[in-house]
Structure 1
């Protein structure tokens, strides 16, 4: 992965890694210890059943059960390992809010008038709403605010509707949230002024007859979003409707079919900049109250500088809002609460400030160091906590005066909330009060249970690495039933725990993995010789996030299935043959087939292959002088999904998060070179490559004296090609560059090609433009430009860990082998290829690079790929593509001076909370080994992860 990720990761860690030392343990009489007995045997059997099923053996679980009456643990399993908790994170948020705000806290929304009211009831000025983060504000509350305006005699407003959402910051989404979640209500944007949870509900009903478009409606009605209806009514009772909202836009696109007998389809859909949505709904409520606005009245933002509000609306008490938050697991409520904590306690309405408050409450609860807080709802996969920490927090609550408020908000097994349909007609029904949590690969349940002996137990079960969630739910419910039966549990019939296995290298490697610094980590390890001898394994089947180690599967499959000599084509067509006159009256067409190396001849070039300048020169050499038609870019070989599923929205300005398409240039990016200007106060000096009009660069950054703080940043406005340079760059900075992704990569290719042709003296008709379309069957092929062979493409890809190249390969696999250029079809090819090599198919692959947090594989999957490739004709190309320890690529600076130097051929991978290393190493005795070390979880420093990997592979290289 691009080394520049490290720069941004450091800024993340300043606010998402909050580490505290324990100061007191007011409740616990003991630390977690191994316990035995019938209850433990029942849980162990459930875990054994889980690992005995191919579809669930990849799951890893942290479990802790604590008897609050006896103040003793009843059971623990991986209780000190960190896991992503999903919505169990809401327990941390809501307990902290109860602790700091109190159950009676109410949010306010203020109404101001700016101007004078005439005797005739005309406000010569503006109406202003200021929000303070009320998560429950509804249209009827805006009506009451409209009635307050009417009550003072205002009949007309000769001014604007102004909205103040400055109580919170302008970061609308949580850290690490996925872009593909954004259209949906559970991922609504966060703002201090919000209504209807910042979403609308879109309803699609069948049209009058087959062939008609579906009837669409939105609630509440608003003009803030535009709706495009691409649906069709069909016969039957099935509905296949999809709702899309393009990134950065307030446009809802509804597609698909709905049967004449189908039930209406509903979807909650979010919007951008939701405070303005509040203004649109309020405008309607004012009209309903009989208050007229001038047609030219604008809805825009402001910041209230002072004054006394005309009216203040108060929300329901927090204890009431808390019930909906936890019972229904409402993400929006949780995020609003987190920023409220930051605003009220730390004076900053940010998630980071709120996380500091949560960390402080955890510290007061006696929570030890070793957790990460990224958001309030658990939607972020950067959150990390242990089952032991969760149980300690639940135990802490029992001594607080808000205990009843928390417990009243928790779902009740078999009764209500997210547990209404679970554990019905079992001993756990009505006895379990617990918070659920689920998202891809994650399933959690934490709370309280009243045991049969009357004791109250606190428990936490957090599962990660799930291939199918239903197995975790089944086990959690079974364990909850056993807790409700405690102490009347019986030993499970016929169950004997399997003894832990030891391996040839256990004595050497176990101490590395068992050190205190690694307690929060899940490490999936498998080491074996090429003759099949297993030298060591630990959690080898655990499904974990592999980061860039996923590229081993992508590139191995590509070489195996496409062949080492495969080339990517870029085809050039015209509506007619090239005219001798040099004037083409028709269109020019450029069709892409996924060449990842298409480039311009400048610093963006990383590999020989096809360049835009080469295409332009070829056209000039053929005598082309003028084009009277359009430049049509054909990118139909791939689908239109520009980003990988599970990629984070806040990565979109960074080069390692490129936009994808079958016709793309410079790895989907432009380059900004920058350096300090000659004098402090001047704009930072910058240069754009290629020099193209396709992007707009707005330079608002300044040079400051040497030694001052460097706040320089390059970002791209979401969903646009507007790039902004902001902040200050010290005069002693040496200068650097950033690559920035662009939108609509095929149009980028077309624009740069047109500019290159103009530079070659080729002219275009005034109305000629760059468009997206398909090459017609009647077009004449002029030429095909071929990339370098695949083995050279893969060599660059793996050595430099290039995400863009990997994604283009995955979609190419889908196009060539499945007839569809999508990541989904490409992943199917990878699954099939690995199965043919003897590997398991039970893993999740959502992208080709490993950037997705949805992708889950195990060390056994990686080793199966590595071992399988040794039997492939493409092995030499595959092996030579891998970085060599201490020599090149991403391993250039690792393992120098060790027996692994110039020996180990391996692939690295790193993201926040993830580090991986897999490959081949030859022992001192001459034996070839294959290994995979995939590390997920919490460590005080990422060095802990890389150091344990380096220690292990050094041992392997040293073996006689």
Structure 2
């Protein structure tokens, strides 16, 4: 037999062996036999049908899968392959991968290095280095023990610095798209390879001994790293009303409000910036507590250890013990540290991406090759998307692994402990069901195992999104969990069977479009309604039209509709100018100059940032000069009190803060809250990238670290703003053959931005400010004298720009204006209330969540039917022609300029687009080929391999409907 034949046989045997191993590792799944679904399916589907009849639960949609691990058969599948935001059910992926790749006995280490020599009298002539490897469990007591080791070794003094090495992980502190308003709280702690006390300080506030006495504040661990400003007051009673803030980018916590004299102590875990330096502060205190002296000039700073033998190594508890707290208490910090550890150990990079890649390797062995997205370890990000089928496949896979016992021990037990301690008490599921919970706004999940009444072990997953009232989601999960524990002894369902799916005039044309394999992971809410028909005949198509989905920029349809109907097309925004006295005739103005804003979104400077006519800073400065003012001897005072001080929409992502679409907000704002950075390559490689800042102002600082490189080299150029500051950094490489471009970058404190620009404009006009003059943010006093009022373009012009360009800043300013005008409160919450009332006035319902005006936050939940109601209602309003004309026209302008160009919908579709990762929407007015006027609302949420599919599917739907006769 020749060598080639032998080689081929060996290869064939090896491949067969590998295939057998793969099949053994990944359980075989039998398809559900719908003929034997019986009472279990009937009970669940009746419950789901009943939920759709209740206004508080009609919008939720669920993916449910039940698999009998004993018989290896599906017992029930509902929307099994659709993707859902899983919340903390994402921890199952992370935990299983940790057990699989690291093993239950894995321990994290923290190393101590001595860089220098220890003298005979116990003095370290050099630096003391602490190096972290991602231990999520490190405590102050552990650091105390490490300090004790030094003391026992005879070290009495450190003559160098305290150095900290966190290089095992990258320096990305927060997960993808985590929300800025979560940041102060312990469940959103920052990450570092060197961490202690879960990177939080625990604040405990105890009422004062008498009314008006200051409350007592305790901080654990005691630290000077975080500054706490306590503005709380003790009041009568047992109620507390406490607000906690931590300004972005600062280690400063502000407590305001009241605590009742008889109230229980208030306790909160508060996060901090740059955790490794927090470790250094705690470490320093532990060293001093052990009597180890430090050089007075000793600094706590970071380093990277290149080599050396550790003097001492601290080991954590084994992973098998750590995951008990991770899953039973749903600890986000533990999950994220585990994910980055997986990245570091398996892929050589302590990053979210590398950790997710390591998880994916395990998922492939479990039979989950693709069709999901993981961007963090805990599920805190709403970019995470998985299906109930995938989770059940993972749970079945675990049963064949040696670590199945460890995973099961880590899961909460119904009615016993963890996050299930108070659920399913007194039911058949109590003590029989073990599962991972998950919840955040609009999301609730439960996945795990249950022992059925016949002794079979069942794996199940219940993923629910679109939740208006969370009680209904938990009740559904508890109902299903109790059913499974009672299976198969289930009574027959009483009453009429669920109604069959209704068909519509367009069903035969549109239903097949949603049966494409690419659409399996998404949820689609669709409604097509005729404006020329009435009653049932007007509904030409529906598909989950009541599902509460994330609408992206389709939410602007509500904001602009409410603005036009409540404020009127001709409403204008004003900006007022005041002085402490009338304009002086001698040109020397005593007292302050005041500028008061009323939310004009179009205030601008005369340069490339101008988008349409209106009030400019230069116009205001010119008017002041025209009055003969030559010198202002007081301060320039900016009044932004018409709106609240909340700069960003709730739920906006922290990692979007450098981008124009995530602007800072204030009643006195300019240039849509941004500056513009124009950039292009330098004349030759090696030189710094050329840039130009608009407007030319001292308000923003640009630090240029970017280099020009040879043509064809990789473009790594980036523009990033330091969080909470107006420092903009240009980094990376820009090839010589790049044509150049620009970015708009948001800036902090919009009123001060206006003030700085106005002061600079006045000075350029020859108007001086006295030495010592300041920029202050404060309300205009009642004694001030009004000088002038500047008016914006009418609202119809504002709305046209807003919708055509899908401008988030304009939308948010309109929302707060609605609140200020109609509710006396310039807040997003007050504005949203006005919008919901406007929707009800148009015949719609208010059972949806609206949190911002632009659709940028993923807290928004709304259905296609809600949006269609607004479109229909506006068709009856006097401002309809303005509203419709403001919408992009297919193939013509705005965000639809390049879509549907050569279709029947071109020129006849006026609609608002909307898109974010995992979200795409299109809603507006369509005139068919036969001349019938229709409303179309399409919202897609979920996972697709290529998000261009969302747009392609929308265009096919619209072009199909456009030809309908």
User: SS of the residue aligned with 2:523?
Assistant: strand
1:211-263 Cα offsets, whole Å, 9 max, x none, are 12221111111000001011111000001111110000000000110111111
In the alignment, the residues of structure 1 paired with residue 430 and residue 381 of structure 2 have an alpha-carbon distance, to the nearest angstrom, of 31
Secondary structure of the residue that 2:40 maps to in structure 1? Answer: helix
Q: Is the 8 A contact 2:640 2:667 kept in 1?
A: yes
1:621 paired to 2:626: yes
The equivalent residue for 2:607 is 602
Look up the SS of the partner of 1:710 in the other structure. coil
Match of 2:582 in 1: 577
CA distance in 2, matches of 1:550, 1:520: 23
Deviations 1:600-619 (A, max 9, x none): 00000001100000000000
Q: Answer yes or no: is 1:890 the counterpart of 2:891.
A: no
Cα separation, 2, equivalents of 1:23 and 1:538: 39
Deviation at 1:26, TM superposition (A): 2.9
Question: How many residues are matched?
Answer: 939
Whether the aligned pair in 2 keeps the contact of 1:92 and 1:358 (CA below 8 Å) is yes
Shift in Å at residue 565 of structure 1?
Answer: 0.3
* Structure 2: distance between partners of 1:271 and 1:41: 50
Q: Which residue of 2 aligns with 1:183?
A: 184
SS state of the match for residue 567, structure 1?
coil
- The CA distance in 1 between the partners of 2:671 and 2:22, in whole Å, is 53
- State the 1:294 CA deviation: 2.6
State the match for 2:810 in structure 1. 805
Deviations, residues 358-404 of structure 1 (Å, cap 9, x unaligned): 11110010114210011000000000000000000000000000000
2:681 maps to 1:676: yes
Kindly indicate whether residue 772 of structure 2 is the aligned counterpart of residue 772 of structure 1.
no
Q: What's the counterpart of residue 833 of structure 2? A: 828
Does residue 388 of structure 1 match 2:389? yes
Which residue of the partner structure matches residue 73 of structure 1? 74
Q: Determine helix, strand or coil for the equivalent of 1:884.
A: coil
Match of 1:411 in 2: 412
1:932 aligns with 2:937: yes
For residue 344 of structure 2, what is the aligned residue in structure 1? 343
Deviations along 1:570-629, one digit per CA (max 9) or x if unpaired, are 000001000011111200000000000000000000011000000000000111101111
Displacement of 1:498: 1.1
After TM superposition, the score normalised by the length of structure 2 is: 0.97
Q: SS where residue 114 of structure 2 aligns?
A: strand
- SS of the aligned residue for 1:321 comes to helix
Say if 1:341 and 1:394 are closer, same or farther in 2 by CA, change over 3 A: same
CA contact (8 A) 1:122 1:154 kept: yes
SS of alignment partner, residue 667 of structure 1: helix
Cα offset for 1:820?
0.4
Q: Deviations over 1:440-490 (max 9, x none)?
A: 000000000000001000000000000011100001001100000011011
Secondary structure of 1:816's partner?
Answer: helix
Superposed counterparts of 1:811-822, under 5 Å: 811-822=816-827
Matches for 1:940-959 after TM superposition, within 5 Å: 940-959=945-964
Give the alignment partner of residue 636 of structure 1, picking from 635, 641, 644.
641
Structure 1 match to 2:196: 195
The answer to whether the Cα contact below 8 Å between 1:243 and 1:267 also exists between their aligned partners in 2 is no
Provide the residue aligned with 2:9 in structure 1: none
Alpha-carbon distance in structure 1 between the residues aligned to 2:158 and 2:369: 57
The more displaced of 653-662 and 871-880 is 871-880
8 A Cα contact 1:598 1:612, kept in partner:
yes
* Residue 730 of structure 1 pairs with residue 731 of structure 2: no
Q: Does 1:40 align with 2:41?
A: yes
**Residues 715-739 of structure 1, C-alpha deviations (whole Å, 9 max, x = no match):** 0000000000000000000000000
Instruction: Report deviation, 1:32.
Output: 4.9
Instruction: Report the Cα distance in structure 2 between the residues aligned to 1:32 and 1:774, rounded to whole angstroms.
Output: 67
CA deviation profile, 1:407-433 (whole Å, cap 9, x unmatched): 000000000000000001100001001
The equivalent residue for 2:720 is: 715
CA distance in 2: counterparts of 1:643 and 1:364, whole angstroms: 42
User: Which residue in the other structure is 2:440 paired with?
Assistant: 439
Deviates most, 122-131 or 849-858: 122-131
1:294 aligns with 2:312: no
Q: 1:790 aligns with which of 790, 795, 810?
A: 795
1:27 corresponds in structure 2 to: 27
Give the equivalent residue in structure 2 for 1:12. none
CA shift for structure 1 position 33: 5.8
- Contact map agreement 1:558 1:813 (CA 8 A) in 2: yes
User: SS of 2:505's equivalent?
Assistant: coil
Q: Distance in 1 between matches of 2:342 and 2:845?
A: 46
State the Cα distance separating 1:926 from its structure 2 match: 1.0
Q: Report which stretch shifted further, 903-912 or 493-502.
A: 493-502
The structural deviation recorded for 1:495 is 4.2
Alignment of 1:133-212 (within 5 A): 133-212=134-213
Choose 563-572 or 279-288, whichever is displaced more: 279-288
Residue by residue over 1:778-800, the C-alpha shift from the partner in whole angstroms, topping out at 9 and shown as x without a partner, is 00000000000000000000000
Q: Deviations over 1:662-718 (max 9, x none)?
A: 000100000000000000000000000000000110000010010000000000000
Q: Deviation of residue 296 (structure 1)?
A: 2.5
**What corresponds to 2:18 in structure 1?**
none
Provide the C-alpha distance between the structure 1 equivalents of 2:187 and 2:31, rounded to a whole number of angstroms. Answer: 37
**Whole-Å separation in 2 of the counterparts to 1:594 and 1:354:** 44
Partners of 2:697 and 2:760 within 8 A in 1: yes
- Give, in whole Å, the separation in 2 of the partners of 1:315 and 1:677: 52
**1:191 partner SS:** coil
- Distance (whole Å) between structure 2 residues aligned to residue 70 and residue 840 of structure 1: 46
Structure-2 residue corresponding to 1:218: 219
- Distance, in Å, in 2 between the alignment partners of 1:950 and 1:639 is 40
CA shift in 2, pair 1:41/1:322, >3 Å? same
Pairing of 1:681-700 with structure 2 (within 5 A)? 681-700=686-705
CA-based RMSD:
1.0
The residue matched to 1:832 in structure 2 has which SS? helix
Partner of 1:476: 477
Question: Deviation at 1:492?
Answer: 2.0
- Say which SS state the counterpart of residue 873 (structure 1) adopts: coil
- Contact 1:23 1:363 (8 Å CA) reproduced: no
CA distance in 2 between counterparts of 1:403 and 1:575 reads 75
Greater shift, 940-949 or 656-665, is seen at 940-949
Counterpart CA distance in 2 for 1:895 and 1:28 is 44
What CA deviation, in whole Å up to 9, does each residue of 1:334-359 have, x standing for no partner? 00000000000000000100000111
In the alignment, is the contact (CA less than 8 A) between 2:88 and 2:378 conserved in 1?
yes
Indicate yes or no: 2:842 matched with 1:837. yes
Work out whether residues 26 and 365 of structure 2, in 8 Å CA contact, stay in contact via their aligned partners in 1: no
Q: Counterparts of 1:171 and 1:947 in 2: how far apart (Å)?
A: 35
* Stretch of structure 1 that moved more, 46-55 or 707-716: 46-55
2:425 aligned partner: 424
**For the structure 1 residues 168 and 820, does the alpha-carbon distance in structure 2 shift closer, same or farther, using more than 3 Å as the test?**
same
Identify the residue that residue 488 of structure 1 maps to in structure 2.
Answer: 489
Contact 2:521 2:944 in 1 (8 A): yes
| In structure 2, C-alpha distance between the alignment counterparts of 1:229 and 1:947, rounded to whole Å | 54
Q: How does 1:277-292 map to 2 (within 5 A)?
A: 277-292=278-293
Give the Å deviation of 1:23. Answer: 7.6
Alignment of 1:587 with 2:588, yes or no, is: no
Equivalent-residue separation in structure 2 for 1:403 and 1:168 (angstroms): 29
Alpha carbons 2:553, 2:806 under 8 Å: kept: yes
Partners of 1:606 and 1:147 in 2: CA distance: 65
Q: Is the 8 Å Cα contact of residues 63 and 76 (structure 1) preserved in structure 2?
A: yes
Structure 2 counterpart of 1:5: none
Q: Secondary structure at the match of 2:812?
A: helix
1:836-857 deviations in whole A, cap 9, x for unaligned? 1111111001100000010010
Deviations 1:725-783 (A, max 9, x none): 00000000000000000000100000010000010001111101111111000000000
How far did 1:158 drift? 1.4
In the aligned structure 2, how far is the partner of 1:68 from the partner of 1:411?
20
2:569 is aligned to 564
Provide the rounded CA distance (Å) in 1 between the counterparts of 2:29 and 2:619: 74
CA contact (8 A) 1:39 1:490 kept: no
TM-score by length of 1: 0.97
Give the secondary-structure state (helix, strand or coil) at the position aligned to 2:835.
Answer: helix
